[in-house]
Amino acid sequence: MQRLRYWLPLLAALAACKPDPQPDPKLLPYLPQTPAHFPPLPVPADNPMTLARVELGKALFYDPLLSRDRSISCASCHLPELSFSDPNRVSIGVQGRTGTRNAPALINLAYHTSFFWDGSNPALETQALFPIEAHVEMDLPVDSVVARLRAHPSYPERFIYAFSDSALTIKSVTDAIASFERTLLSYGSKYDRFIERGFDSTLFTPAEWRGYKLFFAEKGERHAECFHCHGGYNFDEPEGKFRNNGLYYFYEDPGRYLVTGNQLDVGKFKVPTLRNLSFTAPYMHDGSLSTLEEVVAHYASGGQPHLNRDILMDNILITAQDQADIIAFLMTLNDTAFVQNPAFRP
């Protein structure tokens, strides 16, 4: 008994010194790496990023279970090898239903303040709802999405793990998808190296350098003024404006007008990023231009004289050689590592 009384305090002390269990690394806060010339990655407070949520979101992104007939997934119209774009002119949904717009590339979405060509959705956390429910896309009511996932052999446990509770809701579904999409960051192009090396022009070929100067030229003998609409680190509209680029004299799809009801917004669409253009053909909101040569020639022509055509369309002054040089520069925005990244694949 005396011996036991001796050991009891020692055992208690040893128990008190036992190290705390280490936290699960997949549940710790997680932020993907970004380069110095990118802004800090914005993450909403009500959907903090963890690897568990990212991995769950990736599984959902590639799962055809989210479509009515289980035939397509998000990845069916956003192919990773094509910079998460669609090679079809317009996207094809369940039962071969066709939409009216080309699915845009999913690049650096974390920085966007609106989504879809008409900007009808304001948040990455909610944009997935539209393609899931849209008749011409996945055509599955959100209640059915939740019911299918709750009946799945592994998803309920994965949601509990990622979200620390048993509430598998449509919000946790879209939060998970958004967490994955927030990791789709492209910054490994030749142009990015040019920036990181202090605007080192020796990285460019003569044609690429001429194209660079034309792209950013505003005044002079020849100028393209592309940077006004395709600026900043992501080569899209820096101020989030919607623009009419004179693609048509009459727009069957009125674009931003569908959101605002303002006649001045007819024919205006979100300005897409120019990153990874080699992988994202066809181009424009309706996929009507098949090649970059057609795209640049369109801008060189000034486009159709629609009443809402952007005033900048009148200011372009470039030759055929200039057009080729601009395309050469645009190729420096390609990020092969992005389209080959195994972390983005199922």
CA distance 60 to 158: 11
137 classed as catalytic = yes
Which of 337, 343, 330 lies closest to 83 in space, CA to CA? 337
Let me know if 16 is exposed, middle or buried by CB neighbors in 10 A (0-12, 13-18, 19+): exposed
CA distance 278 to 83: 9
Contact 127, 116 (CB under 8 A): yes
Q: Report CA-CA distances (Å) from 208 to 146, 317, 333.
A: 50, 18, 11
Q: Pick the catalytic residue from 81, 125, 133, 137.
A: 137
Buried b (16+ CB within 10 A) or exposed e, 80-110: bebbbbbeebbbbbbeeeebebbbbbbbbbb
Q: Is 198 left (phi over 0), alpha (psi -120 to 50) or beta?
A: left
User: Which residues does the annotation mark as catalytic?
Assistant: 137
